[in-house]
Amino acid sequence: MTAAVLRVGVVGAGMIAGCHVRAYTATPGVEVVAVADPRLPKAEQLASTVGARACSSLEEILDLDVDIVSVCTPPRTHADLTVQAVTAGRHVLCEKPVAGSLADAGRILAASRETDVVVMVGHVSRFEPEHRAAKELVDGGYVGNVAMMVHSLTTSVPTWSEGGWLTDPQQSGGPLLDLSVHSFDYLAWVCGSRATRVHAVAGDSAVGEATYVVATVRYESGAMGQVEASWAHPVARGFKAVVEVTGTAGRVSWDYDSINGGAMYLTDGGTTWFDPLGERGYRGEVAAFVDAVRAGGPSPVPVEAGFEAARTALAAHESLRTGQPVDLTSWAGR
């Protein structure tokens, strides 16, 4: 049990790091003490919002006696940072995808199995309030045996990443690793079954090859899932999720077009849409992580789950390469 205020260091100072910092700040008994980024001014900018120290490396953060490290860097750096922090005895919340390759994901998995610290993968979908409500309904038996699932995340190309790493498929893995990895994790979790087969089709857009993807997943239970991801949509359309879980007794479904917390219109023309979701998912994720740290585990999203979601996404990539389905009961990467 850890009773004192938990000290947090965040590695990375990009978009997701900001979400983590705000979520930790909203969590009682937690203090963000440092933000690290190789670009120090970027670290300073985020650190200054919470009075934390700006650093340029994980080593500096570890020297500050932190209990928790949030890894919010590009996926190809996750393994080194996570293994280093875990080896140093710190609890780690590692952003999704757990890693960009199966080898890296395997290193994190091995490290998590050799330690008593809590290692959690940031599959925030599990903590989004509407996703969570749906999971509870499925677990409550309202849907019966899950048969058909849809998880669609469509948006325009992300423009916020440092040096454009997110839109470089070599660094980010494209929409399958960036967006669909959420879907693969959520659907496997919600239906309580392992993915056994995946195939995918993809289209190219002006923002890159395979920036529109639909993967079809088969599960051990017989259920199937349709996973759509796009960076090819117009900016004006925004980010949209469509989710459906259908079973022998019913269906739970929602989409962002029909979730509306209200709107405020001003005479001078300004309009504010009240977003009922906001950053509640990140707050829920961080709260669950902090609770697990205090309780000494278990991890709310174990590395095994993150590994499987990443493996499914990488197998979908492999399906795009070979033009055939990939058997996930045996596939161990290229």
Contact set with other proteins (CB under 8 A):
145, 147-148, 150, 152, 154, 197, 199-206, 212-214, 216, 218, 222-224, 226, 228, 230, 232-234, 237, 240, 242, 246-251, 257, 323-325, 327
Closest approach of other proteins to the CB of residue 334, in Å: 19
Closest approach of other proteins to the CB of residue 311, in Å: 18
65/257 with CB nearer other proteins: 257
Closest approach of other proteins to the CB of residue 213, in Å: 8
95/228 with CB nearer other proteins: 228
Closest approach of other proteins to the CB of residue 272, in Å: 23
Q: Whose structure tokens read 């993809």?
A: 202
Query: Is the peptide bond between 97 and the residue preceding it cis, with omega within 30 degrees of 0?
Result: yes
89/222 with CB nearer other proteins: 222
88/207 with CB nearer other proteins: 207
Closest approach of other proteins to the CB of residue 20, in Å: 31
40/201 with CB nearer other proteins: 201
Closest approach of other proteins to the CB of residue 212, in Å: 4
CA angle 8, 10, 11 (to 5 degrees): 145
Q: Are 90 and 115 contacting, i.e. CB atoms less than 8 angstroms apart?
A: no
Nearest C-alpha neighbor of 183 from the set 215, 160, 210: 215
145/272 with CB nearer other proteins: 145
Sign of CA dihedral 300, 307, 253, 234: positive
